[in-house]
Structure 1
Amino acid sequence: MGVLAACYRGASGWRLALGARMRPLGAGLCTAAGPQLWCGGGREALLLELRAAVVERRGPLVTLNKPQGLPVTGKPGELTLLSVLPELSQSLGCPSLQIVRAPGKETSGLVLLSSCPQTASRLQKFFIHSRRAHRPTATYWAVTNGIPDASEGQILAALALQHVDGVSVAIPVKSPSRRDILEGVKRTRSHFRVMATGSGCALIQLQPLTAFPSQLQIHMMLQLCPVLGDHTYSAGVGTVLGQRFLLSAESTKPQTQALDDTLLRRLRLTPAQAAQLPLHLHLHQLLLPGSRPADAPIELKAPLPQYFSRTLWCLGLCQQ
């Protein structure tokens, strides 16, 4: 077995932080070592996992590193982050916590909670004003199946929500009319930067400048580089004789991501294991305003999940 803990960025670029043994394939995705994948379980198990996932406590703010697969909200009776907040608040010795910002179910990473309604309101207004001014406050890391043509740039796309087989998915809309905009089509924008490449894949830094469901997955799909583990939108990219192209949204339905044999060998996965591969999209950093206008912004960061670090190691994305 190899050696693996995580990746870090030093003066000479991305490197592996050594000292922990790399786990065998299929092991360690749900462990007591920290939040990785939410594998279900009861209320008490989830509370224990969330307590272990606390990254930082700063005044009324509590930061969690949400495991991939945990829904933030849901239907009455479903086990979600929101449904266990009262017990989590009590367990952490906080007044009633509320969610200020959180990534979606399939995305891992930073969850920002607050026990002060005034602080929560101030931060929510800050995020809204930042989006209107197209100032990024959230930084995601993603591993993509494919490498963008440009090393850095902005992705612009008009998106709409559509129900496909009872599931709500985002679809791109070409040349939206004014009526389309009034009926719910939204112009979206994200900034991307390629941080490392290897084995036909890339480690990408993504900063959404607008907010729309599945925006980042759609934007990378439009670059012909779907996020690894995206079993919804990667089907929008077709391949003929090694050349990738976009399929029409009307002819595409969500389906399990298909990986070629070379990539499967690099990842040390069987096709059945690849069908269960988690979405490699992680909310790594949030910027918050300082206490006073002249103060520097506050940076909050969440470590990568183990499966994400394992993928970086397998693909050689930590060596640049």
Structure 2
Amino acid sequence: MTTAGHAKATKTHSEKKRKKINTSKQQEFLLRNKLLKGKDTTLREHMYLKLYPWKTRLALAEHLKSSEVYNQDGLIALCKPYGVAQFGKCDKENSTGIQGVHTGGWSVLPDDLPGVMDALPDLRLMYGEPELQVVKSTERWSSGLIILSTSPKITENVQKCWKRSKTLEEAPLTFWAVTVGLPIPVSHATKIGIKTEYVENMGNVPVLAKKYSQASLKRGEVRLSVVEHQALAFNKETQAGLVQVKTQTTKHHFLRVWLAHSYSPALGDNHFSGRVHTISGKRLHVSPHNLVSYEPQVLPDSFYSKLQLPPRKTELIPCHLHLSQVQLSKFGKEKSDLIISAPPPEYFMWTCKQLSLMSENDVDEQNELRINS
């Protein structure tokens, strides 16, 4: 075969594989929409189908207000639910070329799901504040802390804390993740970059950058971050883990890319989990330039029974990432570190219980914190 003929055959094979992946995604989309609308009675009451009870922006605002974990000196911290965007259903925050390919993208959620900014006017009225700004929010496909301020001065002070953490090489954001597999190594700390890289037929996708130039940093092509992870719990039977990750950035889905790089993708992550495949019991990296890396997450059979799901229905599982803690370095008049924490949502704790990553007492304790926060 000539070089040109080989290239043409390779391209045809690549296009067929991409079409197969997209067809699979469409089938998953139709199934999940069917389940979200309650047309499948077998799963209608499942925990994962109760994530979006808010039909109006006022209902979301009331929920956010009830989730308050901190309110002092013009700084307010609430808990953002999974799937709620900052700017509503058309939000493209942290979007990449692969965002629309996977379930877990915005099209599988209820069409009228309001965003944080939609609820902000009602929150201002509830708090009696003339001004309320979003200073920091976890990304749409995770749950956890959202930081609000009541004045530009407070916002400026918080932003100074982020810059200070970067200078001191501190990781102010702490996440919890339910993972598929134990990270390798089990605990690790480093400084690494993240950037986007063009992949044929997929567009720009995020990748880690171990090597980079100062020029690429200045141009903003590479974002550096201190990152540290450690396993908090692991179930050998199911191969499920509970991992804590500390980071400076969430840009370009950094957290999920890092977990996949560490051989332990987040449960429910259909964006990047395909970058890890298990062959003959050994976990191996798959290049983002290989279309296999864009296939849906593959879980051990034990996961489905433990999570009370039909086999292979990974499209029903939300991405299990939770921003549990934010540290503001030398914040306020006293110039002391302010640490704000938020317990995981109910579905996250239920998963931990089902996968034996937490005891009944641990779950009850976290739920008590969530209720009383």
Describe how 1:170-249 pairs up with structure 2 within 5 A: 170-173=206-209, 175-177=211-213, 180-181=216-217, 182=219, 184-198=221-235, 199-249=238-288
Describe how 1:41-190 pairs up with structure 2 within 5 A: 41-73=55-87, 75=90, 79-162=114-197, 169-173=205-209, 175-177=211-213, 180-181=216-217, 182=219, 184-190=221-227
Q: CA deviation at 1:157?
A: 3.8
**CA offset digits 1:30-72 (Å, max 9, x no partner):** 76xxxxx345633233223222222332231221110000001
Check the 8 A contact 2:192/2:224 in 1, yes or no: yes
Higher fraction of strand: 1
Give distance in 1, aligned partners of 2:136 and 2:213.
Answer: 32
Change (3 A) 1:315 1:294: same
Tell me which amino acid in the other structure corresponds to 2:299.
Answer: L
SS in 1 for 2:274: helix
Change (3 A) 1:26 1:175: farther
* Deviating more after overlay: 87-96 vs 122-131: 87-96
Change (3 A) 1:117 1:294: closer
Change (3 A) 1:122 1:187: closer
Change (3 A) 1:86 1:204: same
Residue 291 of structure 1: which of 332, 335, 339 is its match? 332
Tell me which amino acid in the other structure corresponds to 2:64.
Answer: L
Change (3 A) 1:121 1:244: same
Check the 8 A contact 2:182/2:234 in 1, yes or no: yes
Give distance in 2, aligned partners of 1:62 and 1:273.
Answer: 38
Change (3 A) 1:171 1:39: farther
Tell me which amino acid in the other structure corresponds to 2:350.
Answer: R
Match of 1:262 in 2: 302
**Unaligned runs of at least 5 residues, structure 2:** 1-42, 92-111, 363-373
With the length of structure 2 as denominator, give the TM-score of the two structures. Answer: 0.70
Check the 8 A contact 2:268/2:320 in 1, yes or no: yes
Check the 8 A contact 2:175/2:246 in 1, yes or no: yes
Match of 2:46 in 1: 27
Give distance in 1, aligned partners of 2:44 and 2:169.
Answer: 41
**CA offset digits 1:260-285 (Å, max 9, x no partner):** 21222232222464312111110111
Q: CA deviation at 1:128?
A: 1.8
Q: CA deviation at 1:159?
A: 2.1
Give distance in 2, aligned partners of 1:300 and 1:63.
Answer: 8
Give distance in 2, aligned partners of 1:87 and 1:168.
Answer: 37
Residue 350 of structure 2: which of 310, 313, 316 is its match? 310
Match of 2:11 in 1: none
Change (3 A) 1:254 1:98: farther
Give distance in 1, aligned partners of 2:355 and 2:57.
Answer: 36
Describe how 1:266-285 pairs up with structure 2 within 5 A: 266-271=306-311, 273-285=313-325
**CA offset digits 1:201-239 (Å, max 9, x no partner):** 211111103452211111110011101111101011122
Check the 8 A contact 1:155/1:219 in 2, yes or no: no
**CA offset digits 1:58-114 (Å, max 9, x no partner):** 231221110000001355899321233122211222221001111000110011101
Give distance in 1, aligned partners of 2:350 and 2:44.
Answer: 9
With the length of structure 1 as denominator, give the TM-score of the two structures. Answer: 0.80
Give distance in 1, aligned partners of 2:160 and 2:266.
Answer: 30
Tell me which amino acid in the other structure corresponds to 1:292.
Answer: K
Size of the aligned set, in residue pairs, is 291
